[in-house]
Amino acid sequence: MVACVVAVGLALAGCGGNDDQAKRDQTYITSVNAAMQRFAQAAKALPSGFKAETLRTYSGALDRAAASLTAIQPPDSVATLHRRLTTDVSGYANEIEKASQAPLSADPDQVVAAQQQLLKATNAANGDVNRTLTAIGRKLDSSGS
């Protein structure tokens, strides 16, 4: 599950320049990276496994990351993409929260199905976040930063 976030810090590391817009872009990048690094640290502290409490805690950490992202003022050129990033992270938190109910089930088929759904959601979230971050990076690069 942590891979979704680790990519965030890497994908937005390369923008920069000398003018005021470049400084604002860099502040934005630094803010996004900081929010995701806080999430990554929280996620690393969690035990692994498919346990309800672990999943709920992980979902809560993602919710906090989404709230941190929402509080960031993005450059106008990437505002729509930034909202998509926030939605990507928030949607992943919702999927994990749904999965947290399955370990409480006595039905092993339901638990396995939930594990498989969580794996699909994790793969989708990784792809969504990485695509969005790549688009943000390209947009910032093309805007002359």
Spans of all domains in the chain: 3-142
* Average pLDDT value for the chain: 82
How far, in Å, CA of 143 to CA of 78, rounded? 10
Confidence category of residue 3, pLDDT binned at 50, 70, 90:
very low
> How is domain 3-142 classified at the architecture level of CATH?
Up-down Bundle (1.20)
This prediction has a pTM of: 0.81
Query: CB within 8 A of 42, min separation 6: which ones?
Result: 61, 64
Q: What is the chain's length?
A: 145
Token pair of 1 as six digits: 């599950």
CB burial readout 23-38, b (16+ within 10 A) else e: eebbebbebbbebbee
